[in-house]
Structure 1
Amino acid sequence: MAVVRYRWPLMDKDKMCCCDLTIIGKLEVKRKEQEIKKSHEMEKKSLENLLTEKQESLEKQINDLKSENDALNEKLKSEEQKQISREKANAVDNNTALVDKLKRFQQENEELKARMDKHMAISRQLSTEQAALQESLEKESKVNKRLSMENEELLWKLHNGDLCSPKRSPTSSAIPFQSPRNSGSFSSPSISPR
């Protein structure tokens, strides 16, 4: 707990007392505000980097699958052309083997399409997660803004409520000195519930 020091002027009764509590309060509020901002920026940057990495990885996989699918389609077309040529030359001997090969390529093509559909579903899921992360970032931004307003309100209360004490009258010298801490004349600012 910070020690609060008070400087009470002895010679000039018109001067207001200066409280180190105001300076300490301002520095503490500013420090906390900077910590919150720094933490928010670091978390935001980390989330953005993670999302970018996931998107780049997914895009690379999709591009690889597209290239593989294109190559497979070209191969399938080539095999179909070969099948036609072979059927013209010797339809009976080669028909069964070529049909089996065609079915295998078609099955591979269907499996590849299924993989692409799966990756597209993952892409949509990542988009949903991105929207959720964006919403979370916006909520954090609102919370930080509210905390900043509360900090400003505390600073205002510290400045306007606790900065100075009333002037002492000439007859007040006869009254024994009483510390504001003991008399209860110095009260900490109350924070209204939110």
Structure 2
Amino acid sequence: MDTILNNIHEYGYAVIEDALPEGVIERLLTDCLENQPDFKAAGIGRRQDSQLNEQIRKDKTLWLTGASTAQADFMALTDELRLEVNRNFFLGLFDYECHYATYEVGDFYKKHLDAFKGKSNRVFTTVCYLNTPDAGGELLIYAQDSDEVIARVAPKAGSLVVFESERFPHEVLVAGSARYSIAGWFRMNNSIVGTIDPPS
């Protein structure tokens, strides 16, 4: 926890190996694999603006609801992190949303931002890896407003990446073998175009 907070404060992002207990990761991977029939092709944009574009991304996703023990345990851990971030940075993070992400061989997600200034309530993006692929699927984090790669993260089971959603463009390189992860966002409770998101 201290390493995550210190790195966020100094760099705006953190990459932590073995961030979650091994048993939690194993249960999440099992849950992810068991639910593969319910996964959907991932879109770009949110809600009514979401659309499919396989030139930009080809992964499949399934939102976590806390319905299984594995999901509930993970969401409890992320809530502990949310509270610690609030205590240290006074950000008022309201909640956390997340989904499983499956990248099969050949899947990718081109360079993008998870939040645009003033148009989203996503504050921090997280990526938690559930397996260690044989090849590919690295996460590239770019410097703000630049093509300079400041971090190249190889997917490794149990690793957690946290970074500022509005600040760092990022992409997932082509997967050379199946890659399973959880992508999530810590959010503030903002009114966007007159709609409270997330609802209280």
Shorter-chain TM-score: what band?
under 0.3
Higher helix share goes to which structure? 1
- Greater radius of gyration (CA): 1
Higher strand share goes to which structure? 2
TM-score using structure 2 length: 0.22
